[in-house]
Structure 1
Amino acid sequence: MLKKGTLNNLTDFYNATGTVAPGDTVALTQDNGSFVQPFSVGLVQGAGDPQLNAGTVSAKITFAFIFP
């Protein structure tokens, strides 16, 4: 699961607010002259998914940028 912003509390992570879905557009905010958008990444298990086991996780995230 990819979330907009920096989250330090799991309770905040597992709600719908700030969740980024495939195809969503995320506007970048200006911070000290640079455009920055922090993201938080976490693992979730859907209903009916097999039980998770300890191990290594690997995932690819692709970002597409549109410049005006």
Structure 2
Amino acid sequence: MLNELKSNLGNVMRAYQAEGKQIPDDLWYQGCLIFKMEEAVKEGDEEMLLFLMNELVGGDDTAFTA
């Protein structure tokens, strides 16, 4: 799942660059969240992973629960 998210985000960022446009800050933020999600998975930190997933989908803390 995370690899697919990274791939899709990378495609969008490359499309902005190909058009000579600046990459929006929210896309950089999403990239940071995905990176931190990978770290949470490696550390087995389910609570952090759920928090980051909620942030990625808009910050509603009821979207994903344990």
Q: TM-score per shorter chain, which class? A: under 0.3
Q: Which has the larger radius of gyration?
A: 1
TM, length-normalised to structure 2: 0.24
TM, length-normalised to structure 1: 0.24
Comparing both structures, which one devotes a greater share of its residues to strand?
Answer: 1
